[in-house]
Structure 1
Amino acid sequence: MLLNEDHFNDVKSKRILPAKLQETFVAFANSDGGDLYVGIEDKAHTGERVVGFGEQEEANAIVSTLLEETQPAVENVSIEFLDTDGKGLVLHIGIPKSPKVHYTASGDCFIRINAQKRKIKGERITQLGYSKGAEPYERKPVADVELQEIAQSEELADYMRRVSTHLEPTIFLRKQRLLTSHDGTRIPNVGCVLLFDEEPQATLETRCAVKVYRLRTTEKEYKREQLEEMPVTINGGTEEVIRKTIDQVVKYIDGAAFRDGGKLVKLRYPAEALKEILVNAVIHRDYSLNDDIHVRIFDNRIEVQSPGKLPGYMSLDNLYEERFSRNPNLVRMLHNLPNPVNHDIGEGLDTAKNELKKAGLVEPIFEEKDNAFLVTIKHQRIASVEEVVLSYLEENPGTEITNKLVRQLSGEDDMQKVKLALQKLRAAGHIVPLDENASAFNFRYVKA
């Protein structure tokens, strides 16, 4: 069994104390999850890499400590024993990324950094809770703003009018969980300021504006001289920031073009896809981090970078399936408006992907970089159905292809469009049917 210890994998001797192993277990759960293998020795010390358990019961103390004494308990942990051909059983523990902050039985908190665990305390634990969404930063009290200042703001009055409420403003704010107790009194919290303060960027301790850049380059890295003009900084309440950002991005894109070889290509992106990705960046970012959202419009792509990695149990692998909101109050308040800027949680990315597909562009690319989430929308055409068929047959000599398989490979769910593409390839002499007399639904093709 060959395993490298890294950010997502660790190996331990079966002789390790359960309490010591719990530190690594907690570190994985508090970070990005990972796999822990117990029963693998340091070869430099023993000369033998795998020295497993003789029977499963030998690991009972370890399993009990990890599952029953971690506070709070880590959910959806997988436990299995791997047979190693006479070298004993290796205990494999699959630890998911958790939406909670976890502690060992002794009350210590750890995170995983590369191939090591690190103990954290105080403010660093608080920050971990914010980044996970376990402790919403939007509910942190803001001592520098007066309640009456928010209660009398035009932004709040306009919102209350649109949602048709006749409550007194301070009662409305309290019922919407936009006030947090501080020194015995309720004061506006971060979410309240983001929504209804005239200038949240001046009030809050952290930066929360959006910067939009237009860059005349296709390179991955850009230089200052490639800026068409100085970045536009967009301030204001959350709803205003969203609308102004969308307008500014559309302004930069409208009429913009670049040369692809000798051909002039106009930048065309579906408005709805851009909107959804920009809205997601504003409402799901980590407001505890001292950075703005950066929207960079290149000659061949758009990059939207928002502060904070994915919250809770969200990962790059489950973005389209799972749902988790780092700022639930912010999301809910915006969604309660008539014609809200945001869809239900998670639906925005689905919409963006589908709109890009309709426009013939590839899906957005998602990345986690340092302490930020980056979405890249490429000005790249999706391969045609014909190109998908020819590429598949070229890469898989001697294989056959069907209408159903083509739909799976290309993502084109229109059976008739795929049929026409296959007929076009057949007429051009690129493919031939295995059986000329097969029924229309059973045609199978091979490369000519």
Structure 2
Amino acid sequence: MFKESIHLELKKEYVKDILKTVIAFANTSGGKIYIGIDDDGKVLGVQRLDTDILKLSNSIRDSIKPDITLFASILVEKIDGKDVIVVDVQKGASSPYYLTDKGIRPSGVYVRQGASSVPATDAAILKMIRDTDGDNFEELRSLNQNLDFDFLKKEFEDANIKFEHSQMRTFNIIDEYGLYTNLGLLLSEQCPHTIKAAVFEGSTKEIFKDRFEFSGSLLKQMKDVYSFLNRYNRTNSEITGLKRTDTREYPEIALREALLNSIVHKEYSYSSSTLISVFDDKIEIVTIGGLTKGLSEDDIMLGVSILRNRNLANIFYRLKLIEAYGTGIPKIIESYNEYNVKPKIEISSNAFKITLPNTLKEKSISKLEKNLSDKEYLIVNMLKENEYIKRTDIEKNLSISSSMAIKLLRNMVENSIIEKLGKGKNVIYRLK
């Protein structure tokens, strides 16, 4: 007597839904499907034996990914004198298996639950992927297999690198079964990760001016964000005699390396966007993902590198966007050698923040300070540490009278050292 169970399914005839059970057995612990026996265990036999076997074998080969044919055999048994098709499915080595037209999501991935084949949960799907592919995010199979690579192809063409199946396999954009990895997802137009940028007036987030969000392939995001940052990297020109010297607010190499660092070393298993904040006196870049295991802050300052996304870094290296691994942070530090201001690096267990100071603002203050009185110099120092100050702050910090503070502030406003904002009791001052 036949009875359905976690390892046994009965079908009175061939129907396409049998594929769900094949997938469920392969994703769980294997099992057998008997075609030609009804739910009560009555043997009916198969009338169109050759036709049904052909349909079954074709659908298993064409409608299930990854290739499951090595783990599924189709046999014919005589039971009670009647022909019965037996599909013997072993647990597969590359789960999750899924319906090709549904993709790696609950509607396409099935598991065995008692005597039923049911859609797998998102958590179960991710666990299957990790159990099969390991914990390296960029090497895991992408949940989205409908990807486009127009921008990446153009970058490869410009670098005289072929972008064909063999190269995609070499670069780990696809896995051994021809399925897209998460690396492929990151480099595709469908990349779900973004970079968000905001522009603020002054040196705090008190006055918001504008916001932007960059999406698409990580390579496209990198180019778009660099162009955006370049717009806010103003140039100062000084003429001495017949010679003109142009200086930019931020060393270009520092902007480039900080941006590359934020893309190549981000922890992409988290969905949070990279955040860029542009102020008058600095640019901050905050990336999800602290230091990789085994590294300290002193190590990265020396150029020691343990790659979190080695396949992504390899593609950037082949496209000549990275010259050598581990050189980014030292380059950023070195680019500020001739300035008094220095980059600041802050690291937490789950985030990495680089602050690049504006070199021209510091130069203009330094030049200004040469012509300041002692009290004016102290006021400028107060404004270096605070975005705004009030008259009462000056009276308290300099231990001077109200009339003296008013005189100092009026003189500094008239000489365009500071500017006055607001009216009455709400008057505040800031560096101009």
TM-score band w.r.t. shorter chain: 0.3 to 0.5
Tell me the TM-score normalised to structure 1 length. Answer: 0.45
Rg bigger for which structure? 2
Tell me the TM-score normalised to structure 2 length. Answer: 0.47
